[in-house]
Amino acid sequence: MNGPAPNSKYPVKRFPQITFIKNFNTNPNIEIGEYTYYDDPDDPENFFRNILYHFDFIGDRLEIGKFCAIARGTHFIMNGANHAMDGFSSYPFFIFGAGWEHTAPEKLPYKGDTIIGSDVWIGHDATIMPGVKIGHGAVVAAKAVVTSDVEPYSVVAGNPAKEIRRRFAPEVVEELLQIRWWEWDIEKITRNLEAITGADPQALRSAE
């Protein structure tokens, strides 16, 4: 056996609160890798309600890698939440029309796509702001508000989120980013689970 089927919606029979969210996605501006799961005892099928202000006419993307663990209450704030602030008022008069539409700004603030790497753990009630890049292997603590990019294999916490430590030494991180085990075929991953879940670089390096 090589683990749960990646096309399964509910991969853990005794815990239906866990879903492989790739299999619920219908939005072309959202990309989610295999085996990434969302854990929500109340409404696990509706992960996408947590992606806020994501409007087609803006065109920004949310990309989430493989083997990520996303806890209940995680919110992704997309670029549609931004208001222009260079005038005296940030109120969006133009969206109401009825004679106000001519005040539409030529360009709204845009932070770019939101990119979450692979093997990222996002804790309960975390908030990811527009255009943030979170590196592979990072950990986002519960209730963190991530307003800037997160380095691979770092742990961030707080509001705004700040790095509190690196998970491994720089040379180990560099090697992990070169090995990129999450891109292996699932048979190789299965054969080498002890190396992946352990902390012996040599074991991972010699995986076959």
Active site residues: 83
CA quadruple 75, 77, 80, 83: dihedral sign: positive
Token pair, residue 178, equals: 């070169």
Residue with tokens 């969006």: 92
**Would you list the DSSP string of 85-148?**
-SSS----GGGG-TT-GGG--SS------EEE-SS-EE-TT-EE-TT-EE-TT-EE-TT-EE-S
SS3 content of the chain, % helix, strand, coil (to 5): 25, 20, 55
